[in-house]
């Protein structure tokens, strides 16, 4: 039987063969004879003669033709790197150094940092380490 998919596998099969599925990249990645392999998803799995299949309804080709998409994208928009690169509030290097220092302190003391319950003047309760 011919299927309209390159790969349609369950999780046990993927784990058995040491493969990783990526929904973001729409592919399956793994190693074969020590070399990395990538099995890409079909970009257009149906031709015009197969348009009556139920599976065809799951694919949204409207966006490529310029028509509005059926589903609105959701998520948190990220700022452009050029806009925040010189922002003094986002010092990622300092954040990374603090995280490494905290992790080193945990290793030295042998226990994770303890949280302390603090009640703020407005009545809210917060936990601080």
* Greater pLDDT, 39 or 62: 39
Q: What global pTM score does this model have?
A: 0.30
CA distance 34 to 74: 38
Question: Worst-scoring range by mean pLDDT, 5-14, 54-63, 111-120?
Answer: 54-63
Q: Which residue, of 65, 92, 108, is where some domain finishes?
A: 65
pLDDT at 31: 87
User: What is the band of 62 on the pLDDT scale with cuts at 50, 70, 90?
Assistant: very low
Q: What proportion of the chain, given as a percentage, has pLDDT over 70? A: 40
Residues 61 and 15 in one domain: yes
Q: What is the mean pLDDT of residues 29-39?
A: 85
Q: Say if 47 falls within a structural domain.
A: yes
Domain count, the chain: 2
Q: Which regions of the chain does DSSP assign to beta strands (E)?
A: 20-22, 27-32, 35-40, 116-119, 125-128
Range of the domain at 52: 11-65
For residue 110, pLDDT beyond 70: no
Q: What is the mean pLDDT of residues 86-114?
A: 66
CA distance 37 to 18: 12
pLDDT one-digit tens code per residue, 2-11: 555 555 567 7
């Amino acid at each position: 039987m011919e299927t309209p998919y390159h790969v349609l596998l369950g999780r046990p099969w993927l784990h058995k063969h040491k493969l990783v599925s990526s929904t973001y990249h729409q592919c399956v990645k793994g190693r074969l004879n020590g070399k990395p392999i990538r099995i890409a998803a079909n970009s257009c799995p149906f031709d015009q003669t197969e348009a009556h299949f139920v599976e065809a309804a799951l694919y949204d080709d409207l966006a490529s033709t310029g028509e509005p998409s059926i589903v609105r994208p959701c998520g948190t928009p990220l700022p452009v790197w050029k806009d925040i690169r010189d922002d003094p509030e986002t010092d990622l290097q300092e954040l990374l150094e603090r995280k490494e220092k905290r992790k080193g302190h945990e290793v030295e003391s042998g226990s994770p940092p303890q949280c302390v319950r603090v009640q703020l003047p407005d009545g809210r309760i917060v936990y601080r380490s």
